[in-house]
Amino acid sequence: MGRRSAEFSITDPTGSQTSSGCSSGNSSDLVDFPPPSQSVHLNHIPVHQSIYHQPPPIYPNLPTHQSSLVDPSLLFTQQIIDRRAAQLAASHHAAILLQHEMALVSHPASTGQSMFKDASKRVPVVPIQQSMPQQPTVSHHVNQAILSAAHGASYAVPFPSAVDSQPDRPIGYGAFGVVWSVTDPRSGKRLALKKMPNVFQNLASCKRVFREIKMLASFKHDNVLCLADIIQPQNPAFFQELYVLTELMQSDLHKIIVSPQALTVDHVKVFVYQILRGLKYLHSANILHRDIKPGNLLVNSNCCLKICDFGLARIWDSRERPTMTHEVVTQYYRAPELLMGARKYTDAVDVWSVGCIFAELMGRRILFQAAGPIEQLNMIIDLMGTPSMDDMKMACDGARSHVMRQPKKKPKTKEAMLSISNQMSDLAVDLLQKLLTFNPDDRMTVQDALNHPYISDGRMRFHSCMCSCCSTLPSGQRQFHPNLEPHHEEPFNPIWERELSRCSMFDLRDKLYSFVVDRHHKLQMEQNHVPLVINPNSAAYKNFTSSSVAQPSELPPSPNQWD
């Protein structure tokens, strides 16, 4: 059966384009791929089979042609797509602007029309990293770059690429920082440099920044954004800003969902699998993310996904269930217990968010989109029926009274979920119902979701060619790691969160500075790490140092105050 690729331009209903996280925002094409063979199992599979199980790559608007199956060895070369065409496609995407917390907006040069007549035809499946100029190398004029090596440090300068390197530029003016796309002079790779101004403006800001940096530094996982580097402050007593480097991603799920690009069930499965895989890692570290939404799920052109933005994340103790604020999670993805004022909630709040995103990927629209928190709760009850008193045991008295005053409603879950999309199968509905269970104690866990049969195809596609944990043997067989969904190696001790709550602003400044210095020293001893500094001779230095944002409230809009 023939398949087609559709242009992937990224525009939200308001006319702008938003996402959250360290994404560069290039528009691309999302290409379909053959269905999986029913006989393939998760043990050893040949390389040519693993290619056919590859998730759908995202391509730029390149000239394409119909093609029969190509020798798999050719699929890994850089010669399949002409370099000049790739450069033309790169010039098609310009003017990048971020809004809100690292939210990306991309403005293509055209108005959504394909650059080439044959752009709807399929191209051979190749590793997209080799066909898109997404990781330009070190600038030809080092003194133009914002980042440079510390004085006296020496390192091997990367060999320049034939592709013109991009200049350092701002890509985001967010709620808690300014984000620039910069070049790492040590490797030539593009990174996201987040400038965090006014870190010590208030105690809440100090705690948030220190918690987020500690988390980022501990992450080593394919599906979680991790810390690349931190620039060491020069003065331990007077520094007010922090500069954090992370991987620069290409897009996010929000931009894909609101684009005209077709999404197949196979796309959805590989995305949902990666979200669950990353969440399992976070929950095993005793971390609640508390803001899972499409804009915080970054993706690259090969459909690899990373969870980002840990500004609302919290270390918690599953045994004690500490009291926490319910003013978390973007409203559309907020679990009913949070909407009803619960303060002793669990990691089930993240699972609910995954269910909302799953439905949104299938239906290409937000599942519960209400004007306010009470309307949001009413929409959930309209679908799932009036909850029992046991279902509302975590809710505050005011919220329970509100629900009990309303006319009793019967659930219409299965029928409504089947109507989300014509791609919704019985297995998909079963998974969605279990992710969106009203009672958090009955809601499925992340591990339960990973064990669900609907996810198995996504697991196969991810581990056949996308992950870093599995490998291909010289014989051409794919060797799978015995632990496909690993835990965090060193989970956070919940005591650390309690100690953090007792720190003053001066204590946190000293702890933060010591953490950065100790990390640099350890990396220098173990990896001959070359420290970076902000280059005052850079052409962009003036703009970089003057770029700043006002610090808003540390929390999202407050839910309804029931009591």
Active-site amino acid positions: 291
221, 337, 397 from 401: Cα distances, Å = 44, 14, 6
Instruction: Please give the Cα distance from 48 to 533 (Å, whole number).
Output: 45
Q: Residue 34 burial (CB < 10 Å; 0-12/13-18/19+)?
A: middle
The pairs formed by 385-392 with CB atoms below 8 angstroms and a separation of 24 or more are: 385/409, 385/410, 385/411, 385/412, 385/413, 387/336, 387/438, 387/439, 390/439, 391/438, 391/439, 392/340
Q: Residue 546 burial (CB < 10 Å; 0-12/13-18/19+)?
A: exposed
- Tokens matching residue 357: 């995103």
194 annotated as a binding-site residue: yes
Instruction: Please give the Cα distance from 150 to 197 (Å, whole number).
Output: 21
* β-pair type (190-196, 178-183): antiparallel
Instruction: Please give the Cα distance from 329 to 503 (Å, whole number).
Output: 25
238, 346, 446, 484 from 274: Cα distances, Å = 41, 21, 11, 11
Instruction: Please give the Cα distance from 419 to 367 (Å, whole number).
Output: 12
Strand partners, 147: 534
Secondary structure element (H or E) that encloses residue 95, with its range: strand 93-99
Across 184-294, the runs of DSSP E, i.e. the strands, are 190-196, 227-231, 242-247, 251-252, 287-288
Name every residue whose Cβ is closer than 8 Å to that of residue 11 and which is 6 or more positions away in sequence. Answer: 17, 112, 258, 259
Instruction: Please give the Cα distance from 327 to 557 (Å, whole number).
Output: 7
- What residues are designated binding site for ATP? 194
